[in-house]
Chain A
Amino acid sequence: MSVASLIEQVATDEGPKLRPGRLHGLAWLVWRQNRFLLWVVLAGVVAVGCWLWYEHSAVVAATERIHQAGCSYDSDTWAASGQSCWPLLEDVVNPTGAFTGELQPALAAVPALVGMFVGVPLFSQEFERGTHRLLWSQSVSRTRWLAFRFGAAAALVLVASTALAALASWFWHTDVHTELGAFDPPFQGVTYLVLGIVPVATALFGLVLGVLVGLLVRRTLPAVGITAALMLAVECGMYQLRPYLYPQVYGVQPIRPNFDTFMQPTDAWLVSNGMILPNGTKVANDGACINQRGCRQVSQVYGYYHPVSHFWPIQLIESGILLCLTAAVVAFVFHRVRRVA
């Protein structure tokens, strides 16, 4: 908040150059109604950017120190170093841990927040104060108004979520995924949700979902709650659906002395795995085998997984689904707004 007001302050002080004072018609109204939101979102993106840059510098400096101390990334050196290398690693683990532990969950919540605080108020705030009757009594048609209002919100969400996704992807690639001592495969936890184009598509869907709920429920507070619940449901549904969006790879490995489960390739997403009995039946790796005949003679394990190369196809398909849903909701909202009082 304070950052937002600070930025607004700065913008005001810099005079008319930053203020689009020449806006006309609906563009002016949309700007006038949403300038505060615009500054808040802008401030949020800038804050995330600054924080990531700061953490990135810390990781770079820490890596430098590790190399100077002769603790290169090679397990033998590491093991031989004893106590001397480990403390240095702290300086890398702390920032990357903050990214995976704090920023990633926060960014994963952005689409729901967009729905709750950008989407819902678009209608509910007008309804609650009766100002929709003021707006819709002017000469511009309500579909035209909606197109501007919706368009502006969508543009803002598109730009902001793209910027956040780009920042997160950049930091993850340069500092978390490839750097020393870091471990964060792309499919794991909420990592997948903040990388690539899925966060952008989800944010757009969150926006239109919030708009729809605001239009139907008409009151802000319940609409915010319902939007949050629906977004959670959609994300859970997507999580269940995600493994089947693209054909999984099937692999078979011989059982090894100390390791009796399937080993997926680096960064791959192991969806399911189990043992293959001598008679060829597959038993999922959930303990069912323990008392079964033949389990002791198992010589092979199997696994279904998505290799890291499936990351982009799955992202594209998931985004496609979300954008189709978004388009359907937008069409419904435009249809519905003509009949609403």
Chain B
Amino acid sequence: MNDTSDDRTALEAVGLGKRYRRGWALRDCTFRIPAGAVCGMVGPNGAGKSTLLGLAAQLLTPTEGTVTVFGRPLDAPGQRARVAFVAQDKPLYQRFTVAEMLRLGRELNPGWNQTAAQRIVDQGELPGDARLGSLSGGQRTRVALALALGKQPDLLILDEPMSDMDPLARHQLMGTLMSEAATNGTTLLMSSHILAELDGTIDHLLLVDAGRIRLAGEVDEILAAHRLVSGADPGEGAADPTAGHTVVETRRIGRQLTALIRPEGELSGALEVSRPTLEELLLSYLRSPQAPTLFTDSARAGHDAAVAA
């Protein structure tokens, strides 16, 4: 294992797996998220997203494999200050006031930035003396995010961050997160099952499904590797126009054939070719559990080490 600090890799998992009493929640995960990425983690409910995030935040201990943050294990000295995590249920002390909650952040984090945290709270017009228990779900999310951003982490891990926010607050906070990424180079890793929430915001993608990683890498590269093709269905026995390409999903409606493929060479002239949107691509993969996985170069574990060697 690589024990030296690595500033180009925000998160790296090698053979990561987690087993609960009811079985494996996550198995055989090997991937890398480069520093500075805004990475979206998508997948159906129960796919293992929260488990993977919990492992990354070191709230869970892996059953097998390792996970490192900036090249070092999370329990190495000083590493805890580099990672912030907001759990899905946004746990906060109900009896604390907003101001006390921020004070908790200040007291427990050496690099605390009160201005950054206060700005987020003020944006939501939350009074400092309001008890957390009296706030709405969206307001609590705001406080939880303020606490995470006040820590000034290098890697910010968010589990379903905006699920209980109204559209305005969602837009505002996503803007805040993006500006955080822009100014401090913070790496963001956030899970969501709302694809529209991620489109346009993320530049890296992790598709988690049934405890495995199925797609990992830059959104642009993944999209560029795929084509949506459609044409007349040649029917039984005739030559398949998608033959020779990696087929993710084929659908037949009447005499029409539609497929998401990864082209390997020239495409048949009989097909109408277009580029899939992120949403079309993800839905295709989720509908086809047998589709082959795809990792772009930057998402492969040991990527930088290989380049350096």
Direct contact of A and B (CB under 8 A): yes
Q: Write the residues of chain A forming the contact surface with B, with a CB cutoff of 8 angstroms.
A: 24-26, 28-29, 32-33, 129-141, 339, 341
**Do B80 and A341 have beta carbons less than 8 Å apart?**
no
CA distance A33 to B54 in the complex (A): 25
**Do B85 and A140 have beta carbons less than 8 Å apart?**
no
**Do B109 and A139 have beta carbons less than 8 Å apart?**
yes
Question: A24-B107, A26-B107, A138-B108 given as contacts; is B60 within 8 A of A32 (CB)?
Answer: no
**Do B105 and A138 have beta carbons less than 8 Å apart?**
yes
CA distance A139 to B100 in the complex (A): 17
Inter-chain contacts of B54 with A (CB < 8 A)? 341
Question: A32-B96, A140-B80, A141-B80 given as contacts; is B107 within 8 A of A134 (CB)?
Answer: no
**Do B59 and A341 have beta carbons less than 8 Å apart?**
yes
Report the minimal beta-carbon distance from A30 to chain B, rounded to whole angstroms. Answer: 10
Inter-chain contacts of A134 with B (CB < 8 A)? 87, 91-93, 144, 147
B124 within 8 A of A: no
**Do B93 and A131 have beta carbons less than 8 Å apart?**
yes
Contact residue among A25, A131, A133, A136 (Cβ-Cβ distance under 8 Å from B107): A25
Question: A24-B107, A26-B108 given as contacts; is B59 within 8 A of A137 (CB)?
Answer: yes
22 cross-chain CB contacts under 8 A: A25-B108, A29-B107, A29-B108, A130-B87, A131-B92, A133-B59, A133-B85, A133-B87, A133-B91, A134-B87, A134-B93, A134-B144, A134-B147, A137-B57, A137-B83, A137-B84, A137-B87, A139-B108, A139-B110, A341-B54, A341-B59, A341-B61
**Do A137 and B60 have beta carbons less than 8 Å apart?**
no
Nearest chain B residue, comparing its CB with the CB of A33? B93
Question: A133-B91, A138-B151, A139-B80 given as contacts; is B59 within 8 A of A28 (CB)?
Answer: no
B103 within 8 A of A: yes
Inter-chain contacts of B108 with A (CB < 8 A)? 25-26, 29, 135, 138-140
Contact residue among A24, A130, A341 (Cβ-Cβ distance under 8 Å from B60): A341
**Do A28 and B91 have beta carbons less than 8 Å apart?**
no
**Do A136 and B59 have beta carbons less than 8 Å apart?**
yes
CA distance A28 to B96 in the complex (A): 13
Quick one: which of A28, A132, A134, A140 has the most chain B CB within 10 A? A134
Nearest chain B residue, comparing its CB with the CB of A340? B61
Inter-chain contacts of B122 with A (CB < 8 A)? none
**How many chain-B residues does the 8 Å CB contact rule pick out?**
32
Report the minimal beta-carbon distance from A34 to chain B, rounded to whole angstroms. Answer: 12
**Do B80 and A131 have beta carbons less than 8 Å apart?**
no
Question: A29-B104, A133-B87, A341-B59 given as contacts; is B109 within 8 A of A138 (CB)?
Answer: yes
Inter-chain contacts of A29 with B (CB < 8 A)? 104, 107-108
Q: Write the residues of chain B forming the contact surface with A, with a CB cutoff of 8 angstroms.
A: 54, 57, 59-61, 75, 80-81, 83-87, 89, 91-94, 96, 100, 103-105, 107-111, 144, 147-148, 151
CA distance A140 to B75 in the complex (A): 11
Report the minimal beta-carbon distance from B3 to chain A, rounded to whole angstroms. Answer: 19
Besides the known contacts A131-B93, A133-B59, 5 further A-B residue pairs in the complex with CB atoms under 8 A apart: A25-B108, A134-B87, A137-B87, A138-B109, A139-B80
Inter-chain contacts of A132 with B (CB < 8 A)? 91
Report the minimal beta-carbon distance from B214 to chain A, rounded to whole angstroms. Answer: 25
Q: Which 9 interchain pairs have the tightest Cβ spacing?
A: A130-B91, A138-B108, A139-B81, A137-B85, A139-B109, A133-B87, A131-B91, A341-B60, A134-B91
Report the minimal beta-carbon distance from B132 to chain A, rounded to whole angstroms. Answer: 10
Report the minimal beta-carbon distance from B200 to chain A, rounded to whole angstroms. Answer: 28
CA distance A135 to B108 in the complex (A): 9
Question: A26-B108, A29-B104 given as contacts; is B92 within 8 A of A138 (CB)?
Answer: no
Inter-chain contacts of A129 with B (CB < 8 A)? 91, 93-94
**Do A28 and B151 have beta carbons less than 8 Å apart?**
no
Report the minimal beta-carbon distance from B159 to chain A, rounded to whole angstroms. Answer: 9
Inter-chain contacts of A339 with B (CB < 8 A)? 61
Inter-chain contacts of A28 with B (CB < 8 A)? 103, 107
Report the minimal beta-carbon distance from A229 to chain B, rounded to whole angstroms. Answer: 25
CA distance A25 to B112 in the complex (A): 12
CA distance A28 to B100 in the complex (A): 10
Nearest chain A residue, comparing its CB with the CB of B86? A137
CA distance A132 to B57 in the complex (A): 13
Inter-chain contacts of A136 with B (CB < 8 A)? 59
CA distance A26 to B83 in the complex (A): 19
**Do A32 and B87 have beta carbons less than 8 Å apart?**
no
Report the minimal beta-carbon distance from B104 to chain A, rounded to whole angstroms. Answer: 6
Inter-chain contacts of A135 with B (CB < 8 A)? 108
Inter-chain contacts of B107 with A (CB < 8 A)? 24-26, 28-29
Nearest chain A residue, comparing its CB with the CB of B112? A139
Nearest chain B residue, comparing its CB with the CB of A134? B91
Report the minimal beta-carbon distance from A138 to chain B, rounded to whole angstroms. Answer: 4
Inter-chain contacts of A140 with B (CB < 8 A)? 80, 108
Quick one: which of A29, A129, A138 has the most chain B CB within 10 A? A138
Nearest chain A residue, comparing its CB with the CB of B60? A341
